[in-house]
């Protein structure tokens, strides 16, 4: 039985935008459907477009249909009774009076302001909320990434927001942390004796984290071109995954304890030096090619500028300089226009110390594969004997746990879980300012050295596995779970 939440008011700035219509509002609808959000809560969509509440509802409905979002009709009807649209220019303080009016009579104890806007507006929104007396002790704000574009811009933005809000009122969202499989990482590691015993440099050879997407830059040309894959994906999502894989067991599950452990990982990441950057990192950009048997344009064609040096692919090898992980390479890879959409974490264990079997072939490594998407699955790859006489023949076979399929209920979307956590005041799955700071510091050692050494941008065909160099060549380290199953090592 899901417990209903205390009623609240949710204001979504930029609420008529893509993120809101694809993720935030559908998350509210799903939680209404499960009875967790009651109709006494309010949803206020605030934006500069001149909708009325009625015309916004029509627009929202059409967009959700266009995006193919499946919504429960009765929950949607309930949402309509809770939603209102406020037309305001976020940069004009007096405009916030309309918001004040929309909220003033609400009996709900807490207001959550969701900043689904470019981060350059975070300062001005916070200031105007303050000037219009819309902030109190229990107000919370949710900040969407990107949080700045480097350490300096993050510090500036953070300082401005912190003028008006305490750290415990700020929820910096990284939707990867809301994914069920990502949270399952904590349980997998800390509720299974066997894994925790093996989770160190003595037993693990390398760790590979891949987030591959088959989509291109879609409608976000300008934004993406000023960011690139390193800042769009590695700085947040992949580093957060790395933290969960590598952190020490926290002494308890409180937000501070978990976030402190993640912070220590980020602070232990080895910064890059100019003389090694080209052998430890690869950046690439897609050219024309084929994805899902369909011809697709090059990145330059997609963004229509024809002279961009922005990377749409990054692969890198990094090290965590602490006792647990000394000498263990962590490979991070992400790219757009890859052959398929998949995200996975692969823990490659060391080979057995001695091969007892009279073979020229190596015994394959044990691997723990945590597949995050498109399907949620955990595989433990181990060597088994092929049945039959004639000596020992063996091959790697997976013990598979269909994580998604093992439960009758569909997993909630990441945004649903995160929204509920904001209402409940649980910051565990949100980034502390120190984590963001540490990740930008480390990212700086990459961007700075890419600039200093004028590192080459390698082109790759859309639909291929991306570029690679001697050290980071795909075949050298990328795990392809489908491919190895047929390998047979004959003694």
Binding footprint of ligand BG6 on the chain (CB under 6 A): 213, 232
Instruction: Collect contacts of 146-152 with beta carbons under 8 A, ≥24 apart.
Output: 146/119, 146/227, 146/231, 146/232, 146/235, 146/236, 147/119, 147/172, 147/431, 147/436, 148/119, 148/436, 148/440, 149/226, 149/227, 149/231, 150/440, 150/443, 150/444, 150/447, 151/437, 151/440, 151/441, 151/444
Q: Beta strands 313-319 and 329-335: pairing type?
A: antiparallel
Least separation in angstroms between residue 2's CB and ligand BG6 is 24
Count CB atoms within 10 A of the CB of residue 409: 6
Nearer to ligand BG6, 111 or 181 (CB): 181
Nearer to ligand BG6, 9 or 232 (CB): 232
Count CB atoms within 10 A of the CB of residue 264: 16
Least separation in angstroms between residue 230's CB and ligand BG6 is 12
Sign of CA dihedral 257, 349, 442, 156: negative
Nearer to ligand BG6, 170 or 234 (CB): 234
Whether omega before 374 lies within 30 degrees of 0, making that bond cis, reads yes
Q: By Cβ distance, which residue is nearest to ligand BG6?
A: 232
CA distance 98 to 81: 19
Nearer to ligand BG6, 13 or 224 (CB): 224
Least separation in angstroms between residue 171's CB and ligand BG6 is 16
CA distance 150 to 135: 28
CA distance 429 to 432: 9
Report the catalytic residues. 237
Least separation in angstroms between residue 390's CB and ligand BG6 is 46
**DSSP strands (E only) in 50-161:** 83-87, 110-115, 140-143
Residue 480 phi, psi dihedral angles, 5° rounding: -120, 100
CA distance 480 to 484: 7
Least separation in angstroms between residue 363's CB and ligand BG6 is 34
CA distance 23 to 286: 27
Least separation in angstroms between residue 150's CB and ligand BG6 is 17
Nearer to ligand BG6, 117 or 366 (CB): 117
Q: Beta strands 329-335 and 204-212: pairing type?
A: parallel
Residue 195 phi, psi dihedral angles, 5° rounding: -65, -45
Least separation in angstroms between residue 304's CB and ligand BG6 is 18
Nearer to ligand BG6, 128 or 175 (CB): 175
Nearer to ligand BG6, 102 or 211 (CB): 211
What value, to the nearest 5°, has the Cα angle with vertex 234 and ends 232 and 238? Answer: 120
Least separation in angstroms between residue 212's CB and ligand BG6 is 9
CA distance 196 to 50: 55
What value, to the nearest 5°, has the Cα angle with vertex 115 and ends 114 and 121? Answer: 160
Nearer to ligand BG6, 67 or 392 (CB): 67
């Amino acid at each position: 039985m899901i417990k209903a939440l205390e009623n609240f008011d949710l204001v979504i700035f930029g609420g008529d935008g893509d993120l809101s219509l694809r993720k935030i509002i559908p998350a509210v609808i799903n939680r209404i459907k499960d009875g967790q959000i009651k109709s006494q809560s309010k949803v206020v969509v605030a934006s500069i477009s001149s909708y009325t509440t009625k015309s916004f509802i029509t627009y929202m409905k059409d967009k959700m249909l266009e995006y193919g979002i499946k919504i429960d009709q009765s929950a949607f009807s309930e949402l309509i009774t809770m939603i209102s649209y406020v037309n305001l220019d976020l940069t004009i303080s007096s405009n916030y009076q309309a918001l004040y009016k929309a909220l003033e009579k609400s009996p709900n104890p807490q207001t959550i302001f969701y900043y689904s806007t470019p981060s350059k507006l975070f300062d001005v929104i916070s200031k105007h909320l303050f000037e219009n007396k819309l902030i109190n002790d229990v107000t919370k704000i949710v900040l969407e990434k990107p949080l700045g574009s480097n350490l300096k811009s993050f510090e500036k933005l953070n300082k401005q927001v912190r003028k008006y809000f305490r750290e415990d009122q700020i929820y910096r969202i990284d939707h990867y942390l809301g994914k069920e499989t990502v949270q399952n990482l904590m349980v997998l590691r800390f509720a299974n004796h066997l894994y925790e015993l093996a989770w160190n440099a003595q037993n693990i050879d390398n760790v590979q984290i891949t987030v591959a997407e088959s989509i291109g830059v879609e409608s976000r040309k300008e934004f993406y071109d000023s960011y690139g894959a390193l800042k769009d994906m590695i700085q947040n999502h992949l580093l957060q995954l790395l933290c969960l894989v590598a952190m020490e067991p926290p002494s308890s599950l409180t937000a501070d304890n978990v976030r402190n452990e993640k912070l220590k990982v980020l602070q232990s990441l080895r910064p890059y030096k100019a003389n090694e950057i080209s052998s430890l990192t690869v950046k690439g950009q897609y050219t024309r090619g084929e994805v899902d048997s369909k011809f697709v344009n090059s990145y330059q064609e997609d963004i229509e500028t024809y002279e961009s040096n922005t990377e749409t692919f990054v692969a890198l090898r990094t090290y965590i300089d602490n006792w647990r992980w000394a000498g263990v390479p962590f490979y991070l890879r992400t790219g757009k226009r890859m052959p398929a959409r998949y995200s996975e974490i692969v823990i490659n264990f060391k080979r057995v110390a001695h091969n007892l079997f009279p073979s020229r072939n190596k015994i394959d490594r044990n691997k723990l594969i945590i597949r995050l998407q498109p399907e949620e699955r955990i595989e433990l790859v181990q060597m088994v004997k092929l049945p039959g006489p004639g000596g020992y023949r063996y091959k790697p076979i997976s013990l598979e746990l269909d994580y998604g399929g093992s439960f009758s209920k569909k997993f909630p979307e990441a945004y649903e879980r995160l929204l509920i956590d904001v209402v409940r005041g649980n910051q565990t799955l949100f980034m502390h300012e120190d984590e963001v700071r540490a990740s930008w510091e480390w990212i700086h050692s990459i961007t700075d050295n890419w600039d200093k050494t004028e590192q080459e941008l390698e082109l790759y065909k859309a639909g291929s596995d991306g570029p690679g160099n001697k050290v980071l060549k795909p075949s050298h380290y990328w795990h392809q779970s489908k491919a190895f199953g047929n390998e047979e090592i004959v003694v």
